[in-house]
A = this chain, B = another copy of it.
C-alpha cells in the first residue's frame, strides 16, 4: 500500500520536485537544473535519478510509492504523450510515463503544466473545496486551466482553457503574440496592463505617478492603492476586459470559482474589486454565483497539481 507521491513540474530553467504523503502534505521540495542540450534527452533521466536519490535518502521503497505526477510545458494527451513536443525543452514528441518507467516502474501520469497548476490550486490552494474551477494566470500572457468535476479539461488538441486568446476587441490595431488582434491577453496580462497604461497616459496630460519611471502592472496597482486617478482608470479598463472575458467563460463552463494567479495577482484582493463589477455586468445570471479567489500556492502549484494527478 503506497504512502508517498512525487510531484514534478518541468520548466525551461529548472525542474521542481516535491515529495507528498497521501494526505496531500508537502514533505520535501527541491529543484534540479533543466538540461536542454541534445533535444533535452537528459531531462527525464535526471528527474528519475533525482527521485531515486531522494528515495534512498528518505528510506522510501518502491512499494511505498503511489505514483509520480508530471507537469510539462506543452500539449499532453491522456496517455502522457507530448503530442507537439515542447519547444522550451528541446523535446520532440515523446511519452513521459514510458521514459520515467524505464528507471522506476511505478504509475506515472503527465499533463500540461498550466493545467496541472490549476489542479494544484484546486487541490490545496485558492480553489480548495471546489470541483469545478477556472484558474486564470495573469503573467506575461494570460493562461488558463479548467477543472470539471475534479478533472482537467484537456480538450481535443490539449488547448482547453486557452482563455487568453478569447477575442475581446474588434478595434484593436496591434497584433497579439498569436497573430490575431484583440485577444484578452492584450489587455489583461502584465504586458497588456502596460499597454493600457501607455494608451491612457497618451490621451491627455492629467497628472499621475505613472508619468515618471518605468510602467509595470505593479506600478499601476501601487498607484491604485495610493489613490492615483489615472492608475484607477487603467485598472478599470483592465478589469472591464477581464471581467467581461470571464463572464464569457462562465457562460460556457459554469465554474464554482475563478482562481486568479500569476505575477499580476500579487496586487492582492484589490485586483478582484476591478474584475467583479464587469463580470456581474456581463454574466448570464444562472452562472453568476461564482467565487473569485487569489491563487495561494505560487510556484508550488505545479508540484501540488502534479501530485494530485496520481492521488
Binding site for B on A (CB under 8 A): 75, 132, 144, 146, 148-149, 151, 153-163, 165-167, 178-180, 183, 244, 247-249, 251-256, 281-282, 284-287, 289-290
A144, A151, A248, A281: residue with the most chain B Cβ atoms closer than 10 Å: A248
A252 partner residues in chain B, CB cutoff 8 A:
144, 146, 160-163, 166, 248-249, 252-253
A254 to B146, CA, bound (A): 11
B132→A254 contact, CB < 8 A = no
**27 A-B pairs, CB-CB below 8 angstroms?**
A132-B155, A146-B252, A149-B154, A153-B253, A155-B254, A155-B287, A156-B256, A156-B289, A157-B254, A157-B287, A157-B289, A158-B286, A159-B251, A159-B287, A161-B254, A162-B287, A165-B287, A166-B248, A166-B252, A167-B244, A167-B248, A180-B281, A180-B282, A183-B284, A248-B248, A248-B252, A252-B253
A247 to B245, CA, bound (A): 13
A167→B254 contact, CB < 8 A = no
A284→B254 contact, CB < 8 A = no
Other CB < 8 Å A-B pairs besides A162-B284, A163-B251, 7 of them?
A153-B153, A153-B253, A156-B256, A156-B287, A160-B252, A163-B252, A180-B284
| Cβ of A275 to closest chain B Cβ, rounded Å | 15
A139 to B180, CA, bound (A): 31
A167 partner residues in chain B, CB cutoff 8 A:
244, 247-248, 282
A286 to B158, CA, bound (A): 8
A254 to B153, CA, bound (A): 9
Chain copies in complex: 2
State the 5 A-B residue pairs at the shortest beta-carbon distance, nearest first.
A155-B254, A165-B284, A159-B286, A156-B256, A160-B254
The residue on B at minimum CB distance from A167 is B282
A183 partner residues in chain B, CB cutoff 8 A:
284
A178 partner residues in chain B, CB cutoff 8 A:
284-285
A285 to B256, CA, bound (A): 28
| Cβ of A105 to closest chain B Cβ, rounded Å | 27
The residue on B at minimum CB distance from A156 is B256
B75→A286 contact, CB < 8 A = yes
| Cβ of A227 to closest chain B Cβ, rounded Å | 29
A286→B157 contact, CB < 8 A = yes
A163 to B286, CA, bound (A): 12
Question: Quick one: given A148-B148, A286-B162, A287-B162, are A156 and B251 in contact (CB under 8 Å)?
Answer: no
A290 to B155, CA, bound (A): 11
A156 partner residues in chain B, CB cutoff 8 A:
132, 254-256, 287, 289-290
| Cβ of A130 to closest chain B Cβ, rounded Å | 8
